[in-house]
Amino acid sequence: MSNHTRRRLRTVTVALSVLAAVAACGRGGDNASSGSGGSKGVRIAIVTRDFTNPYWAALRDGALAEGKKQGVTVEVQAGQSETDSTGENAKLSTLAGQNYDCFGVVPVNATNVITPLVPVAQKKIPILNLDTQIDPDASQQAGVSYASFIGSDNLSAGQQAGEALLKRMGGKGDVAILQGIAGEQNGINRQKGFSEKVAGKLSIVATQPADYDQAKAQTVTEAILKAHPKITGIFAANDSMGLGAAQAVKNAGLSGKVSIISVDGITAALEAVKAGTLSGTISQYPYAEGQMAVQACIDLVRKKTVPSRIVSPTALIDSGNVDKAISSFPQPVEPFTNPLTTAGK
């Protein structure tokens, strides 16, 4: 073989090696799996209401932590406030035009996210309805469907709150309810569960919306206490409102005389329970919700079956277990069964 022929063969061999390496990079090679078997390259978008409420910030943090653990890309965006449906929809519309493999969405109300989800559904990208129920009939009319709903049982949360307040109030007395956003299903379910549990025992003398806002809840509670001075119990449909109510009670010189139960289990509420300014909170563990959203998206991208409804855990946190809840936060105070990670799934 001549020297010229040998040089040509070496040149061809090098070229083929380079092409093979490029091809391997293009398909991810043997190291494409990161964290959880073939997940690398998966892109997940999650949109929630806002990050000023620690509840939604915890959901974000759980999703981002799980994404890092699984080796996938997770983008979490939100509007500017609990009621900012316009801002939330704008974020969702922008993400819908980008290259994401799965979406998770917490709506402001039952219908606001349906229209921006239409192009996502048309591209057959799986969508998770997170935390707050999106209207199924309106969704169906728009051609939008959801692979799963992941969230707490808010009817049960309201019932737990009612049971706790009944115990605190000795089974009788006047109580007020601070509602969330008008038409928002979580608040509706919490109020329904609470009202059913206390029916015939506690007298609901005032029901006022406070939009899940702490400052507004304080103002509303101050007015309620003046109009109904015999109130000895308050149910707030979220912790931010519960904290606002607690401040109003303190300002009125009624600390220790008015029991307050709220819903969410955010850090500030746990600290308030420990301090005795809040009687209890029904903790809903949004961090775990965010984790499960990412787990479900990964399964859906892999074409695995995901339950149509996944219930995240709830628990009453009061003076008896608040220290344990604080030490375990943001994880649930007690173990729970996660169908997405159950062995043999």
- CATH code of the domain covering residue 110: 3.40.50.2300
**242 in the same domain as 159:** yes
pLDDT surpasses 90 at 66 = yes
In a domain, 51, yes or no: yes
- 249-273, pLDDT tens digit by residue? 999 999 999 999 999 999 999 999 9
**211 in the same domain as 136:** no
**269 in the same domain as 161:** yes
Alpha helices in the chain, H assignment, sequence order: 3-26, 54-70, 85-96, 114-122, 136-142, 154-168, 185-198, 214-227, 239-251, 267-275, 286-301, 322-328
Provide the domain count of the chain: 2
**232 in the same domain as 159:** yes
Quick one: pLDDT at residue 253?
Answer: 96
Quick one: pLDDT at residue 190?
Answer: 97
Query: Which of the four pLDDT bands, split at 50, 70 and 90, describes residue 36?
Result: very low
Enter the pTM of the model. Answer: 0.80
**160 in the same domain as 144:** no
In a domain, 24, yes or no: no
In a domain, 4, yes or no: no
**305 in the same domain as 243:** no
Burial 127-143 (b: 16+ CB within 10 A, else e): bbbbbbbbbeeebeeee
- 72-119, pLDDT tens digit by residue? 999 999 999 999 999 999 999 999 999 999 999 999 999 999 999 999
In angstroms, rounded to a whole number, what is the distance separating the alpha carbons of residues 188 and 135? 13
Quick one: pLDDT at residue 39?
Answer: 63
**105 in the same domain as 180:** no
Which range of residues forms the domain containing residue 204? 154-283
- 2-22, pLDDT tens digit by residue? 444 444 444 434 333 433 333
Q: Which residue has the higher pLDDT, 268 or 23?
A: 268
Which pairs with CB-CB distance under 8 Å and at least 24 residues apart come from 333-342?
333/283, 336/288, 336/312, 338/288, 338/292, 338/295, 339/307, 339/310, 340/292, 340/295, 340/296, 340/299, 340/306, 340/310, 341/295
Query: Which of the four pLDDT bands, split at 50, 70 and 90, describes residue 38?
Result: low
In a domain, 2, yes or no: no
In a domain, 231, yes or no: yes
Q: Please, are residues 217 and 246 in contact by the beta-carbon 8 Å criterion?
A: no
C-alpha neighbours within 13 Å on the C-beta side of residue 56: 25
In a domain, 329, yes or no: no
Query: Which distant-in-sequence residues (6+ apart) come within 8 Å of 133 by Cβ?
Result: 110, 149, 151, 185, 186
Quick one: pLDDT at residue 184?
Answer: 87
Q: Which residue has the higher pLDDT, 184 or 291?
A: 291
Residue that finishes a domain, picked among 266, 283, 300 = 283
Q: Which residue has the higher pLDDT, 343 or 198?
A: 198
In angstroms, rounded to a whole number, what is the distance separating the alpha carbons of residues 21 and 208? 66
**165 in the same domain as 79:** no
In angstroms, rounded to a whole number, what is the distance separating the alpha carbons of residues 139 and 137? 5
**86 in the same domain as 105:** yes
**160 in the same domain as 133:** no
In a domain, 189, yes or no: yes
In a domain, 340, yes or no: no
**137 in the same domain as 86:** yes
**85 in the same domain as 67:** yes
Residue that finishes a domain, picked among 265, 283, 301 = 283
